[in-house]
Structure 1
Amino acid sequence: MTRLFTGTAAAVTTPFIDGAVDYDALRAHLNFLKENSIQSFVINGTTGEGSTLTAEEKRNCLKIALEVADKDIPVIAGTGSNNTAQTIAASKEAEDLGVDALLVITPYYNKTSQKGLVAHFTAVADAVSIPVVLYDVPSRTGMTIEPETLELLAKHDNIVALKDATGDFAHFSRLQAVVDDTFSFYSGNDDLALPYFAQGGHGIISVLANALPNEYQELFEQATTDHKAALETHQLLFPLVDALGVDVNPIPIKALVSHLGYGEYELRLPLVKLEENESDVLISLFDSIRKDG
């Protein structure tokens, strides 16, 4: 059985300088991630502020990720939107660039029904010949992929995985029951990584892995071999994970990525930076983890 990846993928941030994408900083950050155990790059997603990037910027970010990955690890492109035709066009373009898979979110704002989800995701999967990862994040979209819907979608040859950011473990159990073991589940919640792995999750698409890639991959590996060590790693990471909730993603993680030296601490509106005292708390916790680790 071949999965896109097992373990930790980074939902990669997009660095900016004076309003423009800082491609040099992006390349340096991606090299850091690859050199520190990351198993996949997820580009142009929520954490990458994909909704504020132009089509040209998205293409350039994907090209750099593909160059750095150099076929050693998969590159997954965030191409989803609330416009099916637009999602198909972005997905086909990403496929043409050479990405390994697509991350496609449930439509938001003009959210649909479960029947509409089947039609939307099927249309996207029919239009490409590479794997599709469904993305379920009801806190941002206002809807959830129900088990019956996943059961239908998982029958499509190109729909191979789900990024699950529901935070609902009973729901996860219901989803697991309707697919076979070739289908992959990836957590979308850093704070729930360990229990998600314990329940059979195949990995995580992580925000904090932008700054702590080794630690999150170690947590995944420990979860299957040494529960005591995994719990210790979880407890080491959790105060920082918890502190990231000070504001919406990716505002806090970009402070840490900038602290590591990969670009300025800059976001695009409507996102705004943390207050200095809030950043200081995060950086102090982060430095403490790196020292303890």
Structure 2
Amino acid sequence: MFKGSIVALITPMDDKGNLCKKSLKKIIQYHIKNKTNAIVSVGTTGESATLNQNEHTNVIMNTLEFADEKIPIIAGTGSNATSESIILTKKLEKSGISGCLSITPYYNRPTQKGLYLHFQSIAESTDLPQILYNVPNRTGCNLLPKTIAKLSQFKNIIGLKDASGDLSRVNQIKQIVKNDFILMSGDDTTALDFIQLGGNGVISVTANIAAYHMVKMCNLALKGNFIKARIINKELSDLHHLLFKETNPIPIKWAARYINLIKYDTLRLPMTPLLSKNKKILKKAINSIKLYIK
């Protein structure tokens, strides 16, 4: 389940900023139909930063309900407070989730020792599989390969989502972690290269609206057919870039509404709606791939 195309799912909201269950059910069914390998619920793309703890848990539980065991659910359980990550993780222990995705503590800018102790404390508090999440440009800290290698020795720290965009890290990390440690890209633009270098797949923003394409590309790449995989990746190239034209998840929420996957593209402040000029160029990219959902 922890390979191929895993979607970093958006959290659909109604016009008042509350969870839109109808849209959530629709987008989950879309991923089941297109054979997405797994869903990350309430990661950073799912707006974890603007959901309180009860809302956070509620979205995950609704995701589990609508998934109905037809697709694995990975819960975003990261926080910049170690104690909060532990509380959230323990709340979900018997929920039916397949694992947790835990981001490096943002704003605090911990040392490598602090990062190690943070993830050690979480891992020792639960039996749930843990996937580390490194995204330096959003958090202000960078989980270094040596620290990842030390953390990989914990039996339930099973992998890493690396959104640094630094492809040189793939080989560096592979050489010093245990053989079954999973490496997932967190950067759609370099995901195919990441897999070719030995990665296991991608936790993808683009997959929210191009599930079929991302699944097919990853499956081809994991089978070693990089010629055909690159044809698909080239088709998605503009989309990969445009979905980060403004801060994620602003563009992807608008795009999901445009193709009729969700009813509203509501965001909570301080996130603001997509600019009109960016809607035009994103619309053109979406129409060129014919992603509209009936």
Q: Which residue of 1 is the match for residue 118 of structure 2? A: 120
- Counterpart in the other structure of 2:255: 256
Match of 1:61 in 2: 59
Instruction: Please report the RMSD computed on the Cα atoms of aligned residues, expressed in angstroms.
Output: 1.4
TM-superposed CA distance for 1:227, in Å, is: 1.9
Matched to 1:16, the amino acid is: M
Does the CA contact (< 8 Å) of 1:137 and 1:166 recur in 2? yes
Unaligned runs of 5+ in 1: none
What is the CA distance between 1:242 and its match in structure 2? 1.6
2:3 matched residue in structure 1: 6
Q: Choose which of 114, 135, 138 in structure 1 pairs with 2:136.
A: 138
3-state SS of paired residue (1:255): helix
Alpha-carbon separation, structure 1, partners of 2:197 and 2:224: 14
Answer with 273-282 or 102-111: which moved more. 273-282
In 2: Cα distance, 1:79 partner to 1:227 partner: 34
2:99–2:131 Cα contact (<8 Å) kept: yes
Q: CA deviation at 1:76?
A: 0.6
What is the match of residue 235 of structure 1?
Answer: 234
Whole-Å separation in 2 of the counterparts to 1:31 and 1:213:
11
Work out whether 1:166 is the aligned partner of 2:167: no
Report deviation, 1:45: 0.8
2:200 corresponds to which letter in structure 1?
Answer: H
- Residue 290 of structure 1 and its aligned partner are, at CA, apart by 2.3
In structure 1, the residue matched to 2:278 is 278
CA distance in 2, matches of 1:72, 1:25: 18
Measured after TM superposition, the shift of residue 245 of structure 1 is 2.5
2:17 maps to: 19
Contact 2:11–2:47 (Cα < 8 Å) also in 1? yes
Matched residue of 1:217: which SS? helix
Structure 2 CA distance for aligned equivalents of residues 218 and 55 of structure 1: 35
Aligned residues: 289
Q: TM-score, normalised by structure 1?
A: 0.95
* Matching residue's letter, 1:52: T
TM-score (norm 2): 0.95
SS in structure 2 at match of 1:21: coil
Following superposition, the deviation at residue 175 of structure 1 comes to 0.8
- Residue identity (%): 36
5+ residue gaps, structure 2? none
- Aligned equivalents of 1:228, 1:97: Cα separation in 2: 41
Amino acid at match of 2:73: V
Specify the SS of the correspondent of 1:179: coil
Determine the structure 1 residue equivalent to 2:217: 219
Residue 132 (structure 1) shift:
0.2
Question: Displacement of 1:70 after TM fit?
Answer: 2.4
Match of 2:44 among 34, 46, 50: 46
SS at match of 1:16: coil
Q: What is the DSSP-based 3-state SS (H/G/I as helix, E as strand, rest coil) of the residue aligned with 2:92?
A: helix
Of the three residues 45, 59, 80, the one matched with 2:78 is: 80
Return the offset for 1:60: 2.0
One-letter amino acid of the structure 1 residue matched with residue 6 of structure 2: A
- Write out per-residue CA displacement over residues 75-97 of structure 1, whole angstroms, 9 at most, x where no aligned residue: 11111111000110011112232
Report the structure, 1 or 2, having the larger helix content.
1
- Cα shift readout 1:121-177 (whole Å, capped 9, x = no counterpart): 010011111100000000011111112111110000110010000111112211111
| Secondary structure of residue in 2 paired with 1:8 | strand
1:267 CA displacement: 0.6
Contact 1:82-1:111 at 8 Å conserved across structures:
no
